[in-house]
Amino acid sequence: MAKIKILPDQLANKIAAGEVIQRPESVVKELLENSIDAGSTVIELHIKHAGKSLIQVIDNGSGMSEEDVRICVQKHATSKIEFLEDLEKIATLGFRGEALSSIMAVSQLEIRTERQEDEVGTQVRIEDSENITIEKGSFPKGTSISVKNLFYNTPARRNFLKTDATELKHIIDIFNKISLAYPELHLKFYLDGDILLDYSPGKLADRISQVFYPEFVNGIIPVQEMTDYISLYGFAGKPSLIKKTRGDQYLFVNKRFVISRQINHAIFNAYENVLEKGDYPFFVLFLDVNPAKIDINIHPSKLEIRFDNEKDIYSFVVAVIKKSLGDFDLISNISFRPPSMDSEHLSIDKFGQRMERGDFTDRPVTKTTVRPQRTLQDDEVDRLFGRISMQVENTGERNAVVFPFEPSVPGSVEAAKPKLTEKKEPLFNDEVYSPFIVQLQNKYILTQISSGLMIVDQHAAHERILYEEALKKMNNDLPFSQPLLFSKTVQLDPGTYKLVNELYPHLQKLGFTIKFFSKHTIVIDGIPADVKMGDEEKIILEIVEEYLINQREKNILEDRDNLAKSYSCKTAIRTGDKLSEDEMHNLIDRLFATSMPYVCPHGRPIVVKLTVDEFDRRFGRT
């Protein structure tokens, strides 16, 4: 009796399905890609129990006839290719004809579809590969595919699925990747009946602001180089968006998300003057290549890709990214064109000098300094931003001193205290020197530094401070809550109530004290010190809304990071808030005690500098 046997089709299909359908995310990817190939403009994704109970994709695409519906669930059934040579000019996301048959093998499948030209549509229910029901009926134009009880007939595979939170994050991740690839489509994501993400159609920059957050576009620069052979376009991140973890690199080849070590290395190479070891830049880039010059048919997931001429593409990508980085502002030293120009225009040095770790030579000095009893020379007065025409008197020896906001280095300007002409007494006689600081339009703080003038965005600065303090609170588990005199009762919608409940362990560490009641009601008994009394409900809702924007993060540490960003953004000083001089000094001191005082948690610059040389040029001193 022969030992080698042919496997039954049902068993073979379940084995083969494991290559295509690995988790709920795989089903979402295949169904969304089919909807896009069908010419849809509006696509809805419905998820229940992290995709384990239900994955449903509804589109307004071309739909299918009854004959097509019967065939589409069979193995190797596809409308994308027909002949061998078609593999060399694939212009669609799907082509292997394995997705629906693999999904059918490990789930209960229902398809409702109706073409634009048909009066009635077709419904197919498949409980298993041998129990198929087909009915006619009136359905919305397009196609709706429901995948229920994923892996119900393969318990071993179902047991290897991760927690609902982990599986949901994978689904959100693939949804966002496809959303970035097709910003012209209207995409909606419903979780347990509540809408989670709603991306309206627009341009790529609009979609990036939707997937991440609106301010994110301030940290990206456009990339575009179109040729007959190969084109590269999209956005690359400024140094402010560089992270120490992977995850924010999105490469699309012919609008298909792929993973390519060669192309990633080329992009990292283009950042060579900016990246340090372990740094990862942000990018959303699209590479358009002749389909005959690439091979996407390597693995059923279609994530891997091979290029016909990798060296040429590598060199092209490096050159284009370097050119784009060199053409745009990357550091915060501002200057103006000469007054003789027709119009003044702000510019920023390209790359410039990088601020090394531990280099404090161009920051405000946080210590107060007592100035010795000396008078200023005329040339010294000019250097101190125009204390001109003062009558001064020379007394004593000239000793080098350290000015406030200036580094103590060889060659520092010698200075002394000016004396008033009338009383002949030192202006700063044994007083603590109060450095120049002023608030502009209740938005920016201006203060003197060694190289000239420093301008600080007060909201972004406070955001950075609160962000790092929030991370410390959550990491150290040392919450401090100020109790409310009268508790605040808040009625939430089901989705918000569920999310607040899930986030409460982290919110509690930040200083929130909350009780949860039935009918989606919470009672706020205490709040962090940074939250104003009376703003409890508003702040909770704003934090949740901000957190949902960043739902795509991948692990619990990133969840904390997300919550810290949301908390700091909504509790920081607002533009328009008037600050006292002491409050401004305190804010500057706290800012430069943080680990990254130049960039806010969202990637926007906090500090810009205007040099004395620029002042001199503007006043005709050069």
Tell me what the mean pLDDT of segment 471-499 comes to: 83
The beta strand positions in 468-550, using DSSP E, are 482-491, 513-517, 521-527
Q: Is residue 46's pLDDT more than 90?
A: yes
Q: Is residue 302's pLDDT more than 70?
A: no
Of 152-156, 250-254, 379-383, the least confident: 379-383
Q: Is residue 57's pLDDT more than 90?
A: yes
Give percent of the chain with pLDDT exceeding 90.
24
Q: Furthest-apart CA pair in the chain: how many Å?
A: 120
The residue that leads in pLDDT, 390 or 250, is 250
Position 428 scores a pLDDT of 34
Kindly indicate the confidence band of residue 297, based on its pLDDT and cuts at 50, 70 and 90: low
Sheet holding 131-137, edge to edge: 131-137, 121-128, 108-114, 142-148, 54-59, 42-48, 186-191, 194-199
pLDDT tens per residue across span 140-161: 999 999 999 998 888 878 888 8
The residue that leads in pLDDT, 214 or 28, is 28
Residue 441 token pair: 């339009």
Of 211-225, 281-295, 337-351, 555-569, the least confident: 337-351
Q: Is residue 475's pLDDT more than 60?
A: yes
Position 555 scores a pLDDT of 40
3-state secondary structure of 495: helix
Kindly indicate the confidence band of residue 102, based on its pLDDT and cuts at 50, 70 and 90: confident
pLDDT tens per residue across span 584-609: 989 988 988 887 787 787 767 888 88
The residue that leads in pLDDT, 55 or 496, is 55
Position 398 scores a pLDDT of 39
Range with the largest mean pLDDT of 98-102, 199-203, 265-269, 359-363: 199-203
Position 424 scores a pLDDT of 38
Tell me what the mean pLDDT of segment 539-543 comes to: 86
Distance of CA 292 to the CA centre of its chain: 34
Q: Are 215 and 197 in contact (CB under 8 A)?
A: no
CA angle in degrees (0–180, nearest 5) for 536-589-448: 125
Burial class (CB in 10 A: 0-12, 13-18, 19+), 563: buried
All domains in the chain, ordered by first residue: 9-201 (3.30.565.10), 206-327 (3.30.230.10), 365-434 (no CATH), 458-591 (3.30.1370.100)
The beta strand positions in 450-590, using DSSP E, are 452-457, 482-491, 513-517, 521-527
Using a cut of 0.75, tell me whether the model's pTM lies above it: no
Q: In 2-115, which residue ranges form alpha helices assigned H by DSSP? A: 9-20, 24-37, 66-72, 99-105
Position 36 scores a pLDDT of 93
In single-letter form, the type of residue at position 484 comes to L
Kindly indicate the confidence band of residue 286, based on its pLDDT and cuts at 50, 70 and 90: very high
Give percent of the chain with pLDDT exceeding 70.
71
CA end-to-end distance (rounded Å), the chain? 100
Position 368 scores a pLDDT of 43
